[in-house]
């Protein structure tokens, strides 16, 4: 039996920073309100000519270099994104494979919003365990600034740009393996978080022609409540299924949407502060990039050691959700 192991992590954040003070000039908001209601102080914004694939490539290069795996052994790339370089095609994953000069790899995008990285991880795990692939590069990359309405104070204060990537590879050693991944969805709540225009659902609508057609819209308060409920339930279920106590989790890495959501979930699960990874303050919500960027922060601060158990927990548009029990298993 082959198992799937997370070998390495990498991330990238664009150099330009958008502060709360700058947003306060653009919309009717304040640094105080944003920090109190979200915990966000700043977010990174990609340059005009910097695409989602460029950020994905920067993160992937770091993850590949750290993995100890030859680039020509990568046989699949999965890119999770809601802000692809191009609408419909080509996929951002194929562009990433070209920019990385990886030939003949299976490459495709998935759309699971902020749960994208956990979904991509589950796909990598399934392909590796079935024996179809050996070394999979997964990328969560977002240029959310391209689909953000900077006249809407309910959303523009939240989102930022960035990318994270990980190399997942086959192992026979069960102690290195990803333990379990749970994913789910409920389309009944599709209207809580969506880009309502621009797709085939509005192809004959004049709105689809407008520049703003792909802007995100969110019912923030309702989303908040479902997020807390779903993220907590997710964790309880995956821990119970695998007979693991929350005290055994070294790093709880939740989707970084709002500090209050993370605190509410952490409190409900009785997690200690030192277990909970927080990056929302400096990156805001980067959707599918949020979890790998957060793991990378722990890694780069020297606090992610081989064998340590991470619990990933995500929630996003769709609605989608997912959790994963993942030991950090670099090649020895
Ligand atoms: O990543 C996918 C999942 N996404 C999420 O989980 C996001 C979930 N939602 C949230 O994080 C929060 O709902 C927000 C941060 C978006 C909003 O915070 P809230 O505490 O839920 O505020 P609210 O929407 O209930 O609005 C409260 C008040 C309203 O004013 P009134 O009606 O009470 O006079 C809003 O108009 O705050 C006002 N408001 C703002 N005021 C200053 C909303 N946005 C802003 C703002 N600055 N940026």
Q: State whether residue 303 is helix, strand or coil.
A: coil
Say whether 135 is catalytic.
no
Instruction: Name which residue sits closest to atom 41 of ligand 1, judged by CA.
Output: 29
Inter-residue contact 53 to 92 (CB < 8 Å)? yes
Distance CA 139, CA 117 (A): 7
pLDDT for residue 332: 74
Phi, psi of 115 (to 5 degrees): -90, 0
pLDDT for residue 212: 59
In this predicted model, what pLDDT tens digit does every residue of 24-34 receive, in sequence order? 999 999 999 99
CATH 3.40.50.720 corresponds to the domain 1-332: no
Distance CA 208, CA 215 (A): 11
With a 6 Å cutoff on the Cβ, whether 261 touches ligand 1 is yes
Atom of ligand 1 nearest to the CA of 157: 48
**Mean pLDDT split into 10-residue runs, the chain, 332 residues:** 97 98 98 98 98 98 98 97 94 98 96 98 98 98 97 97 98 98 96 86 60 82 94 96 96 98 94 97 98 98 98 97 98 84
Atom of ligand 1 nearest to the CA of 290: 1
With a 6 Å cutoff on the Cβ, whether 223 touches ligand 1 is yes
- How far, in Å, is the centroid of ligand 1 from the Cα of 185? 24
**Sheet strands side by side (includes 76-80):** 3-12, 161-171, 135-143, 76-80, 106-110
Say whether 114 is catalytic.
yes
Name the pTM for this structure. Answer: 0.96
H helices, E strands: number in the chain: 10, 13
- How far, in Å, is the centroid of ligand 1 from the Cα of 86? 30
Which residue among the candidates 20, 79, 114, 197 is catalytic per the annotation? 114
Atom of ligand 1 nearest to the CA of 153: 48
pLDDT for residue 199: 77
Average pLDDT, the chain: 95
- How far, in Å, is the centroid of ligand 1 from the Cα of 155? 8
Q: State whether residue 37 is helix, strand or coil.
A: helix
- How far, in Å, is the centroid of ligand 1 from the Cα of 252? 25
Instruction: Name which residue sits closest to atom 26 of ligand 1, judged by CA.
Output: 221
Which residue among the candidates 214, 255, 258, 296 is catalytic per the annotation? 255
In this predicted model, what pLDDT tens digit does every residue of 75-116 receive, in sequence order? 999 999 999 999 889 999 999 999 999 989 999 999 999 999
Give the domain ranges of the chain. 1-332
- How far, in Å, is the centroid of ligand 1 from the Cα of 153? 8
First to last CA, the chain: 20
């Amino acid at each position: 039996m082959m198992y799937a192991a997370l070998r390495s992590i990498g991330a990238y954040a664009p150099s330009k920073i958008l502060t709360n003070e700058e947003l306060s000039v653009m919309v009717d908001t304040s640094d105080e309100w944003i920090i109190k209601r979200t915990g966000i102080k700043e977010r990174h914004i990609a340059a005009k000519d910097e695409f989602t694939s460029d950020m994905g490539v920067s993160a992937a290069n770091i993850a590949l270099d750290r993995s100890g795996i030859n680039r020509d052994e990568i046989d699949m790339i999965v890119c999770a994104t809601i802000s692809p370089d191009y609408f419909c095609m080509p996929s951002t994953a194929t562009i990433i494979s070209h920019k990385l000069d990886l030939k003949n790899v299976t490459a495709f995008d998935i759309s699971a919003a902020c749960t994208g990285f956990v979904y991509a991880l589950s796909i990598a795990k399934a392909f590796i365990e079935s024996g179809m692939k050996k070394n999979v590069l997964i990328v969560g990359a977002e240029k959310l600034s391209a689909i953000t309405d900077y006249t809407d104070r309910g959303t523009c204060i939240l989102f930022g740009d960035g990318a994270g990537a990980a190399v997942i590879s086959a192992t026979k050693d069960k102690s290195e393996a990803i333990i379990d991944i749970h994913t789910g969805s409920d389309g009944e709540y599709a209207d809580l978080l969506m880009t309502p225009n621009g797709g085939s659902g509005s192809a004959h609508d004049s709105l689809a022609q407008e520049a703003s057609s792909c802007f995100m819209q969110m019912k923030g308060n309702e989303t908040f409540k479902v997020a807390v409920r779903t993220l907590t339930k997710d964790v309880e279920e995956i821990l119970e299924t695998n007979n693991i106590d929350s005290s055994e989790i070294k790093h709880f890495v939740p989707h970084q949407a709002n500090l209050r959501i993370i605190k509410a979930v952490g409190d409900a699960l009785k997690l200690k502060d030192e277990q909970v990874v927080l990056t929302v303050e400096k990156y805001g919500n980067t959707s599918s990039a949020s979890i790998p960027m957060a793991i990378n922060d722990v890694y780069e601060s020297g606090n992610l050691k081989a064998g340590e158990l991470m619990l990933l927990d995500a929630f996003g548009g769709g609605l989608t959700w997912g959790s994963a029990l993942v030991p950090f298993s670099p090649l020895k």
